């Protein structure tokens, strides 16, 4: 049975391990950086199978206008079970109807997000990170 929980503190090594198991590209060898990613996010939702972390949604939001969903990662062994949708639905409930949720997608995941209610935006801009 999968349980969902809002988290404030979570072990960076557990998150890095989940990122590896999910296939998401993140700096998993740099636990200090993963720790900062967790520490500075203000909305983290996790899915647990007992004591095992199987999915995470990490976001930055003002709870008023915009929410950037920076990570949505589900362990490959748990994909296609509705867990990612469960995380996004809970994020939507928490931030409310006044808040737009946006994210950047890996090319291989682009077909997934319309099923969750996301619309493709053609007006986004970014400054790429250097490392």
Range of the domain at 86: 2-116
Per-residue pLDDT tens digits for 72-119: 999 999 999 999 999 999 999 999 999 999 999 888 888 899 999 999
Within a 10 A sphere around the Cβ of 75, how many other Cβ atoms? 21
Instruction: State the pLDDT at residue 84.
Output: 96
Instruction: State the pLDDT at residue 8.
Output: 82
Establish if 131 belongs to a structural domain: no
Residue 45 contacts residue 4 (beta carbons within 8 Å): yes
Instruction: State the pLDDT at residue 48.
Output: 98
Split into its structural domains, the chain has a count of 1
DSSP notation for 21-40: HHT----TT-HHHHHHHHHH
Per-residue pLDDT tens digits for 13-59: 999 999 999 988 999 999 999 999 999 999 999 999 999 999 999 99
CA–CA distances in Å: residue 129 to residues 98, 121, 126: 30, 21, 9
Whichever domain contains 64, its CATH number is 3.40.630.30
What is the reported pTM?
Answer: 0.91
**Burial class for 88, CB neighbours closer than 10 Å (0-12, 13-18, 19+):** buried
Establish if 125 belongs to a structural domain: no
Instruction: State the pLDDT at residue 82.
Output: 96
Establish if 40 belongs to a structural domain: yes
Establish if 127 belongs to a structural domain: no
Instruction: State the pLDDT at residue 33.
Output: 95
What three-state secondary structure class fits 124?
Answer: coil
Instruction: State the pLDDT at residue 128.
Output: 87
Segment holding 19, helix H or strand E = helix 12-22
């Amino acid at each position: 049975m999968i349980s969902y929980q809002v988290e404030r503190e979570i072990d960076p090594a557990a998150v890095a391990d989940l990122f590896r198991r999910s296939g998401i590209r993140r700096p998993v060898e740099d636990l200090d950086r993963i720790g900062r990613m967790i520490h500075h996010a203000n909305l983290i939702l996790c899915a647990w199978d007992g004591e095992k972390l199987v999915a995470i949604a990490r976001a930055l939001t003002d709870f008023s206008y915009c929410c950037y969903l920076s990570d949505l990662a589900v362990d490959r062994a748990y994909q296609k079970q509705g867990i990612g949708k469960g995380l996004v639905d809970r994020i939507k409930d928490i931030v409310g109807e006044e808040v737009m949720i946006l994210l950047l997608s890996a090319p291989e995941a682009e077909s997934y997000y319309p099923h969750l209610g996301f619309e493709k935006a053609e007006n986004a801009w970014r400054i790429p990170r250097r490392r």
